[in-house]
Structure 1
Amino acid sequence: MNTTEYQDLARRLPAPAERDLPPDRHRHHKELLLRTIDGDRPRPRRRLVRPAFALPAAAAVVAGALAVTLLPGAHDRSPGTRVPLAESGTPREAVVLLDRIAAVAMKTDTEPVRDDQYVYVRSLATTTEHIKPVKAGGLKEREDWVPQDPHATHEAGVFREDGEFVPVTSADKDPAGIGRPTYKWLAALPTDPGALHERIRKETRPVRGQDFDQTVFDTFGTLLSRGVMPSRTEAALYKAAAKIPGVVEMPDAVDADGRHGVAIAREDRRLGERTEWIFDKESLKFLGERTYLTKTGERGEAGTLVWANAILDRAVVDRPRQVP
């Protein structure tokens, strides 16, 4: 595809919604989709502007991939660029671990979130500097203030990166749902694991080039890592995640902040990469995620880190720019 065709595709695609992907997942899907379009061509660098809450939408991801690039971070912490390849556990071990995590979630008291409040998320994530071969760059820290009901607050949200506050202006047009998972929407989900798995699978949009079960796994990961929800809903989501084909347990993993934990993982054999949800080994608190290559190819050697993130803080606040 030449430059003119590439620009024409960008013009014809709809503009990406402000809530299509959290920033770290957007980076990963950008790399994935550009690889399927034209992995060898150099691409212009522009600043990534994405709020934290959202899930994959194929057209929006493609459009974002055409318009977005990443700035290398200047953070001192680093998850490294190589992941020691280890044998995974079994699906049965994943079920046992997810049951344990669900039991902890059920014991956690979560206050309902009002429509006029904001979910605050402080996160750390790697950037991806190159498409081929894959190269995880520096780390960036980011804060997001996501409103539950932009109509009620007349504020569509704001995020802060590199010390700069950036308002989000289009979220008030997005209804609550899998693309904007508010507390109220999450609380209304079925708590039967089987019904919940089918609901999330039905509402997840495919991502070009990715195994659909992997896209579903990513959707669950975003809901669980960044959403604020009733304890019963959270427990049901963990149990429902155990029904995704290919989910296994990993005895050790490291998030973007360098914290070690146990992981729930799934490998996309089509892409040759594995994504892990990382939990503290003692408290089973969600720490972060990482994705790395599991086979050597044109994208790099097996064990190469594709991306990683860490959830540093998650809370509910009464106004944007308020730090808990």
Structure 2
Amino acid sequence: MNDLAPPPRRDLPAGRHEARRAHLAGELAAARRPRGLPFRFSGRRLVFGGVTAAGLAAAVTAVLLVPGDGKERGPVVMNAAATEVLNRASRAAAARPGLHPRPDQFLYFESRDYQAAEMGSGGLERPQSGHRRAWFSVDGSRAGLIRNSGDEGIWLCEGSGELAKREAAASAEGREPPIDLAHPPTGCRNDDVRLTGMPDNVEAMRRWLFDHRNGQNPPAVQAFITVGDTIRERYVQPRTLSVIFAAAARIPGVTVTRGVTDLLGRKGIAVGQTWQGHRQELIFDAATYAFLGERTLVDGQGAPPPGATASPGTGDGGGTGAQGSVVYASAEVRMAVTDRAGQIPR
């Protein structure tokens, strides 16, 4: 996930399979882009219940001499509690066992998601919850698969003449091409879902997060967003994930939300930033500090990070809805290795 953003999750367009494939291919493409504000969420992420304005209470802050985006002068105000949470998450990531898939195997990602209803033209008429399963070929030469909430799915197989013929034949008959797990398409050229080539020390990783931000937000805001974009539905080695979280602890303006409970009933602690009426958070297990997922809340009361001078709740990204309400959320259920696309790991 060098550049992952949550894949959009919308109702499939009616009509022939080209529209369906284009729609789901758009999900994958969106998952490869870094995300920016204003928040336009739909994707695979988790519902967090019981969130109120009281849950957004700020923790004690301290002045820490840490670098920011290379342009700040003097001390940067950091949240000491958030720094501790991210450092503990860094240590937890370093301690977890790594996966060692063979080139002919698949990396499996399972997640739950929630998307609040959106107002305006093209918005969702009602909230949506989803269950996403994705299989990515380790070496990229085999057809991967994405299935959302019971949908038959779509093959992930770029550059396959065989798949193009299947789709053309199905289109001529006015039907969707079936997903035959016993006969996946061949001739695929997919991207590697493993995150490689990243900095191996904390300060270099912090610079990477600022240098690779993609959006019009203030540097510290976009760098924090890039953390989630980088690790979402991508296999990250424990050492690299540890360095990413340690680097995130050096991003200014990150504060703590305590008492979070996700859709799976897991008790968590969150770190995040507020900007233009929304608070973007990373969620960690309250006991083990393992990464659980992400969420976005309406927050018209929180202070913006240092250097972000616009008032919260203003601008194109201004939050709509009750204070503390969940706009979008996701939870990682599990990650594993399988021998075939479509195979559910034990």
TM-score (normalizing by structure 2): 0.65
Q: Deviations over 1:175-209 (max 9, x none)?
A: 65xxxxx33x43x3112111012123222321x5x
Q: Counterparts in 2 of 1:1-324, with a 5 A limit?
A: 21-23=5-7, 26=8, 46=13, 49=24, 50-51=27-28, 53-56=31-34, 79-80=48-49, 83-85=52-54, 86-89=56-59, 90=61, 91-131=79-119, 137-150=127-140, 153-155=141-143, 157-163=144-150, 164-170=152-158, 182-183=193-194, 185-186=195-196, 188-206=197-215, 210-268=217-275, 271-295=276-300, 299-324=320-345
How far did residue 127 of structure 1 move? 2.3
How far did residue 300 of structure 1 move? 2.5
How far did residue 261 of structure 1 move? 0.7
User: How far, CA to CA, are the matches of 1:136 and 1:283 in structure 2?
Assistant: 35
How far did residue 54 of structure 1 move? 2.8
- More helix, by proportion: 1
Q: 1:192 to 1:256 in 2, by over 3 A?
A: same
TM-score (normalizing by structure 1): 0.69
Q: Is the 8 A contact 1:83 1:305 kept in 2?
A: no
RMSD: 3.6
Larger RCO of the pair (alpha carbons < 8 Å, separation 6+) = 2
| Percent of aligned positions that are identical | 25
Q: Deviations over 1:100-148 (max 9, x none)?
A: 1211222222133444332211111112422359987131111011223
Q: Is the 8 A contact 1:225 1:311 kept in 2?
A: no
Q: 1:196 to 1:79 in 2, by over 3 A?
A: closer
How far did residue 70 of structure 1 move? 6.8
User: How far, CA to CA, are the matches of 1:134 and 1:294 in structure 2?
Assistant: 21
Q: Deviations over 1:229-272 (max 9, x none)?
A: 2221111111011122211222222334343211121212xx21
| Residues paired across the two proteins, number | 264
Q: Deviations over 1:272-308 (max 9, x none)?
A: 1111211111122222211111116672232222111
Kindly provide the amino acid, as one letter, of the partner of residue 262 in structure 1: I
Q: Is the 8 A contact 1:21 1:53 kept in 2?
A: yes
Q: Deviations over 1:142-177 (max 9, x none)?
A: 101122332xx232x21112321211244966765x
Q: 1:82 to 1:190 in 2, by over 3 A?
A: closer
Q: Is the 8 A contact 1:142 1:161 kept in 2?
A: yes
SS at the partner of 2:133? strand
Structure index of larger Rg: 2
Kindly provide the amino acid, as one letter, of the partner of residue 220 in structure 2: D
